[in-house]
Amino acid sequence: MKGLKPLFLGIFATFAFSWLGLALVPNYQIGHLDPQSDEEGTDVYPMPPSGMAERGRKVYAANGCFYCHSQQVRPDTDSSDIDRKWGDRRSAPRDYIFSRPVMLGNERMGPDLANVGKRAPADDSNTAAPVASPAGSPAASPVAATAAASSAAKPAPSRPGVPSVPPTAPPAPSPATSLDSSPKSNGVAPAYSAAWHHQHLFAPRALDIDSNMPAYRFLYQNRRINGERSADALTLTGADAPPTGWEIVPTYEAKCLVAYLMSLDQSHPLTEVKSNAPPTPPAAGKAATK
């Protein structure tokens, strides 16, 4: 076949066409979005993440969390994402303007995390109310059984420095409560609280027997208790618990990772997306379908 010029031109043209169409034009369309705010310039969303959360995003990327956890809620016309309480509305480009790298994910070996920060208990340091997340923690009962059984054998560390066990808590048979935990007897912190995330990252199958998530134990430090037990030491039971006199504390990376997870929240209404959430007054009038 003759004619080199048409060949080279064609090779470049086809590729340029695809680049133009799938990278440049969309970038023009959705690549320069600003946070939205109301008329007074308040109620800005989204906000740039904190330094710790930003660092946690790197930990999240480096350890490949995004290969199994997506961060996008699809519309309820095509999926059950909203029925699963993964979000009140579908995700929109504006939700991600501060995300770098953006990790939408393309596989769900684990649940979607787009709103995992939203699912945390409202006041996560001393809540005594039962946690309202039955949909999110399917295996609560077997965990409770195993954990309660094993907590009897567990040595009870004394923690005089921990102030936050609410005085109104029901009489707990086990002393295995920690800073962030609910007064539930099994030592499991309220789902999606910071303490729960740490327990879950350290020993996923202690919280959900069916979980196939790998444990990220290298993000935690096993160290001897010097004097008092640290406030942020993990409450662990059974085989996961450290020997007496030792404690397991999160490294700074683990704390950043949890800060990142807690920061994931797309619940704020966006004008361009219809929300299924109970309408909040300022957004209700403006909610428009697009």
Partner 1 sequence: MTPTFSTYDAAEVPLKAPSVSTDVLTSEVEQVERALIDASTRVPVLMFYTSAIVWLLIGTVLSVLVSFKLHSPDLLGNVSFLTWGRIHPAQMDIMVFGWASMVGMGTAVWLMARLCRTVLRHPLLLVAGAAFWNLGVLLGVGAILGGDSTGYEWLEFPPYASIVLFVAYSLIMTWAVLMFRFRRGEQIYITQWYLLGAFLWFPWLYSAAQLMLFAVPVQGVMQAAVNWWFANNLLFLWFGAIALGTAYYMIPKVIGRPVHSYHLATIGFWTYALFSSWTGMQRLVDGPFPAWMITASIAATILTIIPVATVGLNQHMTMAGNFQLLRYSPTLRFTVFGAMSYTVFSAVGVLISLRSVARYVNFTEASVAYTQLGLYAFYSMIMFGSMYYIVPRLVGREWRYGSLIKLHFWAAVYGIGLLTLMLLAGGFVQGSSMNDPSLAFSESTQSILPYLRGRTLAGLLMMAAHCVFAFHFGLMLFGLGRTASVPTFLNPMETEDSEPQL
**Footprint (CB under 8 A) of partner 1, residues 213-242:** 213-218
Interacting span for partner 1 (CB under 8 A) from 7-15, 143-151, 174-182, 235-243: 7-15
Neighbours of 58 (CB within 10 A): 14
Number of residues that bind partner 1 (CB under 8 A): 79
- Establish if 254 lies at the interface with partner 1 (CB under 8 A): no
Strand partners, 222: 248
- Establish if 277 lies at the interface with partner 1 (CB under 8 A): no
Helix (H, G, I), strand (E, B) or coil at 89: strand
According to CB under 8 A, which one of 37, 48, 51, 79 is a site residue for partner 1? Answer: 79
* Smallest distance from partner 1 to CB 14, Å: 4
* Smallest distance from partner 1 to CB 231, Å: 25
| Shorter beta-carbon distance to partner 1: residue 206 or 262 | 206
Using the CB atoms, write b or e for 168-189: b if 16+ within 10 Å: eeeebebebbbbbbbbbbbbbb
| Shorter beta-carbon distance to partner 1: residue 7 or 156 | 7
Q: Which residues contact 126 (CB under 8 A, 6 or more apart)?
A: 164, 166
Q: Phi, psi (5° rounding) for residue 221?
A: -115, 135
Nearest to 268 by CA among 255, 251, 280: 280
* Smallest distance from partner 1 to CB 63, Å: 4
According to CB under 8 A, which one of 52, 61, 144, 287 is a site residue for partner 1? Answer: 61
